[in-house]
C-alpha cells in the first residue's frame, strides 16, 4: 500500500501491518483513500476530526445557499395606471431581492380575443423593470391567462446602480458650480 502521512507527505509503499503500526504509533487512524489505484493509497489521519470538519463544511455550504422563490404578480387587461405602477414596483422589489417573478395577465369574457393588450402590458412591465431583471420566459397564452417569467439580472442591477450614483455625483457637483454662475456679472462687484 502507498502510505501518505498526516501532513500529506508520502511515506512510501509499505505492507498493511507496517502501515497500521505507523498509524498506531502516532495514535491516528489508517484510512483508505483510493482503492482503485495500484497499489491502493492509504492515509494516516484522525478520522473523527476529518468527519467533523466535513460536516462543518457541508453545514456552511447549506447556510450560504439561497433558495430561488417564484413570486407571482397578477394583472388585468383593463388595469389602471396607478395599479399598474404599484404592482410593477412590487415586481421590481421582488427582483431586487433575488426572486423570480411570474407575471400573469388574467383575461375574462371577451377580453381573450385581444391578446395584444395583454402582450403590451407584459412588454411594459419588462421595460419598467429592465434595470433589475430580464425576461426568462417570454409571454405565452395559456388558456385564459398570459404569462411571462422574469429573473433577476445582477449585471444589469450593478450597471444601473453605478449609473444612478454617477448621476447623483454629477448633480451634486454641478449644483455648487451653478450657484456662482447664476450671479450676473454686473451685480458681482456691488
Q: Give the CATH number of the domain where residue 23 resides.
A: 3.10.20.80
**Contact between 150 and 134 (Cβ < 8 Å):** yes
Q: Is the residue at 184 inside a domain?
A: no
pLDDT, residue 185, reads 53
Q: What is the number of structural domains in the chain?
A: 2
146 lies in the same domain as 79: yes
Q: Are residues 59 and 85 in the same domain?
A: no
- The DSSP code for 183 is S
Say yes or no to pLDDT of 189 above 70: no
Query: Tens of pLDDT along 106-158?
Result: 999 999 999 999 999 999 999 998 888 889 888 899 889 999 999 988 877 77
Q: Are residues 76 and 105 in the same domain?
A: yes
Residue 98: Cβ within 10 Å count: 14
3-state SS of 27-93? CCEEEEEECCCCCCEEEEECHHHHHHHHHHHHHHHHHHCCCCCEEEEEECCCCCHHHHHHHHHHHHH
Q: What is the reported pTM?
A: 0.56
Measuring CA to CA, which residue among 64, 145, 60 is closest to residue 102?
A: 145
Instruction: Please tell me whether residues 99 and 151 are part of one structural domain.
Output: yes
Specify whether 84 is located in the same domain as 125.
Answer: yes
Q: What is the pLDDT of residue 164?
A: 77
The residue-averaged pLDDT of 157-164 equals: 77
Same domain, 59 and 82: no
Q: Is residue 177 part of a domain?
A: no
Domain of 13 in residue numbering reads as: 2-64
Q: Are residues 37 and 91 in the same domain?
A: no
For residue 180, pLDDT over 50 is answered with no
* Residues 106, 147 within the same domain: yes
CATH classification at residue 81 = 3.30.110.10
User: Given this model, what pLDDT does residue 86 score?
Assistant: 95
Q: Is residue 180 part of a domain?
A: no
- Of 103, 99, 100, the closest CA to residue 87 belongs to 103
Of the residues 64, 84, 111, the one at which a domain ends: 64
Lowest mean pLDDT, pick from 4-13, 77-86, 108-117: 4-13
pLDDT confidence bin for 37, thresholds 50/70/90 = confident
Q: Does a structural domain hold residue 188?
A: no
Q: 81: how many CB neighbours lie within 10 A of its CB? A: 7
For residue range 42-64, list pLDDT tens digits in order: 998 888 988 998 999 998 888 87
Say whether both 117 and 59 belong to one domain: no
Answer yes or no: is pLDDT of 13 > 70. Answer: yes
CB contact set of 176 (below 8 Å; sequence gap of 6+): none
Average pLDDT over residues 160-180: 68
Q: What is the DSSP letter of 182?
A: T
Q: Do both 52 and 84 map to the same domain?
A: no
Residue 166 vs residue 183, higher pLDDT: 166
83 is a domain residue: yes
Amino acid at each position: 500500500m502507498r502510505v501518505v502521512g498526516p501532513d500529506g507527505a508520502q511515506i512510501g509503499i509499505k505492507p498493511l501491518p507496517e502501515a497500521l503500526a505507523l498509524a498506531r504509533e502516532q495514535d491516528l487512524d489508517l484510512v483508505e483513500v483510493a482503492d482503485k489505484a495500484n497499489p491502493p493509497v492509504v492515509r494516516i489521519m484522525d478520522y473523527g476530526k476529518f468527519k467533523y470538519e466535513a460536516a462543518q463544511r457541508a453545514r456552511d455550504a447549506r447556510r450560504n445557499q439561497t433558495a430561488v422563490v417564484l413570486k407571482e404578480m397578477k394583472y388585468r387587461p383593463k388595469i389602471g395606471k396607478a395599479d399598474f405602477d404599484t404592482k410593477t414596483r412590487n415586481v421590481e422589489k421582488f427582483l431586487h431581492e433575488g426572486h423570480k417573478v411570474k407575471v400573469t395577465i388574467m383575461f375574462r369574457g371577451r377580453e381573450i380575443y385581444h391578446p395584444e393588450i395583454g402582450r403590451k402590458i407584459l412588454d411594459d412591465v419588462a421595460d419598467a423593470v429592465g434595470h433589475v431583471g430580464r425576461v426568462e420566459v417570454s409571454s405565452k397564452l395559456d388558456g385564459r391567462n398570459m404569462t411571462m417569467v422574469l429573473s433577476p439580472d445582477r449585471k444589469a442591477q450593478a450597471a444601473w446602480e453605478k449609473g444612478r450614483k454617477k448621476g447623483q455625483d454629477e448633480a451634486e457637483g454641478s449644483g455648487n458650480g451653478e450657484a456662482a454662475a447664476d450671479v450676473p456679472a454686473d451685480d458681482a462687484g456691488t
